[in-house]
Amino acid sequence: MARVTVLGSGVMATALAFPLSDNGHEVRLVGTHLDREIIDSIQETGVHPNLDLKVPEGVRAYQLEEAEEAFESAEVAMSGVNSFGVHWAGERLASLLRPGMMVIAVTKGLEAAENGDLRILPDVLADEVPEDIKDQVSWSAIVGPSIAGEVAVRHETCVVFTGLDAEVLEDLARLFRTGYYHVWTDTDFVGCEVCAAIKNCYAFGAGFMEGLLDREGKSEDRYRRYNYGAALFGQATRELGRWMELMGGEPETPYGLAGVGDMFVTSMGGRNVKAGRFVGAGEPFSEVQNGRMKGVTLEGVAAIRVVGETLPKLAERGLVAHEDFPLMRHLYEIVAHDEPVDMPWSTFFGGER
């Protein structure tokens, strides 16, 4: 039996308590300052309000002030915050981690340096931790197609644990694997994390196909816009491959669970798709963000901003061509400059020809 302590009690972190508990491990959820009501609810009724499910028997919930107690004698520390909380989580972990712990993160995103260099979030998380501790724990992450609630109701799910140390990944995988939660391991840390972050951007675009129907009053029509969505999916896949070249990921990483698999599931719904749908229907993105979706965390949109601001810098440095990533650049124009959706089809797939 292992002790797994989770910083953050969002839906994904909490869902992972299900396979862990099914395997007899002890799970301790520590709420962030934003999770106070979630922790109250779990402590009082056992129910996670956003998942709308009772957490497994034996899962214990802690308020942030009790974090030290919760991390006591834990072998595994999970970072369960979203991309906006990664620096905060790293600062907290700095005082909570102890040598020998295995850290595993579910956060997906990218951060850019001033010169345009992109960094994966597990590295950003680790860099908040002082060197002496940072080097005495292991850093890994979970990627792949995984809607949290489906894990929590024990629907079959296939994911990838990624990090640089194959043995650690296998140790972690053994803790989580059940009959419904299948885990592969992959030491292409950069490639897996870049896919996980970038596919969220393209999922925003997946909302356009419904939005365009809304705009035309065709929401109930027999003929949808799947051809449109499929073309975007194809171009997004092309661009994922190009991201691997740029970031040093393995060429085949996009073409399995971490890439197209995750992009498929993310395109089926969620907040980014919803925001994309409003934009596809004709609303400028700034109105969506300040109106109907005010206060909603949009990690895909955040990643589009990071990446979109970075591409011109990388082009100036000669690392990408100005015409590279045409779909990503259009997504950036939409979210950063309120451009209407108007796909530059002829620039896709190396240019229509």
Give the whole-angstrom CA distance, residue 267 versus residue 283.
20
Give the whole-angstrom CA distance, residue 313 versus residue 279.
27
Q: What does the block give as tokens for 176? A: 């989580």
Q: According to the binding rule CB under 8 A, does residue 145 interact with its own copies?
A: yes
Q: Which of 268, 286, 292, 296 binds its own copies (CB under 8 A)?
A: 268
The C-alpha R_g of the chain, in whole angstroms, comes to: 20
Taking the least distance from each CB to its own copies, the nearer of 201 and 306 is: 201
What kind and span of H or E run contains 334? helix 326-337
Taking the least distance from each CB to its own copies, the nearer of 129 and 263 is: 263
Q: Which of 132, 294, 318, 353 binds its own copies (CB under 8 A)?
A: 353
Interface segment toward its own copies; rule CB under 8 A; list 61-69, 102-110, 326-334, 342-350: 342-350
Site string for its own copies, 148-177 (x = CB under 8 A): -xxxxx-xxxx-----------x------x
Q: Which of 34, 147, 246, 315 binds its own copies (CB under 8 A)?
A: 147
Taking the least distance from each CB to its own copies, the nearer of 21 and 146 is: 146
Q: According to the binding rule CB under 8 A, does residue 254 interact with its own copies?
A: yes
For the beta carbon of residue 43, count every other beta carbon within 10 angstroms: 13
Q: Which residues, in sequence order, are bridge partners of residue 103?
A: 77, 139
Residues that bind its own copies in the complex, under the rule CB under 8 A: 52, 144-147, 149-153, 155-158, 170, 177, 182-185, 221-231, 233-235, 237-238, 241, 252, 254-257, 259-262, 264-265, 268-269, 343, 345-346, 348-349, 352-353
